[in-house]
Each structure stands twice: as structure tokens, then as C-alpha cells.
Amino acid sequence: MLKKIFGILKDWLLAIVLAVVALVTLSKPDRWVKSKEKEIKQREKENEKAEQDAEQHQAKAEELDKIADELYERYKEAVEKHDREIAEAGQKKEPDDEPIPFDDPDSAAKFLDDLLNDIGDGT
């Protein structure tokens, strides 16, 4: 009778020990699961860094767009100013640019005398 009880207890004890070992073995994650989790965390960090870099690049691009717009406006203003100056310069009449009318020989002689006097004076 004692042998029967010890045999049954021995069987049950062996079954309980095997069940505990199986639970411990099955409950802890495998190495590949841990490595995959680590890879996932690494990729998440890389994605966050890439998103931050993209935001920084976007902000820099917007800043450069504003600068480019300002420079383009300045360029347009400078071109308009230059065009106005050219137009104004074309409308001005310089005394030397006016045609000299020679109606008679006396006016031509007077012009040549004035010209020679100016050259002789050094002006």
C-alpha cells in the first residue's frame, strides 16, 4: 500500500516538475524574438531621427524660399529702377548732343571760332 502511494506520488511529482519546467521554458521568449524586438526598436529610433531631419530640412527649405522670394523682389525692383534710369537718360538732351544748325556760312565760321577758342583755352 505504501508502495502504491509512493508510486502515485512519484508519478504526480514527476508530472508537476515536468509541467513547471515546460511552463518556464515556454514562458520565456526565444532569442530570435528578443533580437527582432531589438531590431524593431532600432528601426523606430531611425524613423524618428529621419522624421526630425525631414522637419529640419523642410524648415530650412521654407526659409530659403522666403530668402529667394525677397531676392527676386529686390532684383525686379533693381531692374525696374535701371530701366527707368535708362529711359530718363534717353530723354535728357545734352548740349553737345544737339545738332548744330548751319544756316549760312557766318554761323559755321562762328561755330568753328568757338570750337577753336575752347580747345585753345583747354576746356
Residue 1 has pLDDT above 90, yes or no: no
CA-closest candidate to residue 118, choices 89, 92, 93, 95: 95
Residue 67 has pLDDT above 80, yes or no: yes
Mean pLDDT of all residues in 66-71:
96
Query: CA–CA separation, 12 vs 9, rounded Å?
Result: 5
> What was the pLDDT predicted at 5?
80
Mean pLDDT of all residues in 90-117:
75
Query: CA–CA separation, 38 vs 36, rounded Å?
Result: 5
Mean pLDDT of all residues in 21-29:
76
Residue 114 has pLDDT above 80, yes or no: yes
Q: How far apart are the first and last CA of the chain?
A: 148
Q: Which pLDDT band, with edges at 50, 70 and 90, does 120 fall under?
A: confident
The domains of the chain are located at 2-92
Query: CA–CA separation, 46 vs 52, rounded Å?
Result: 10
> What was the pLDDT predicted at 110?
86
CA-closest candidate to residue 96, choices 113, 117, 111: 111
> What was the pLDDT predicted at 63?
96
> What was the pLDDT predicted at 14?
85
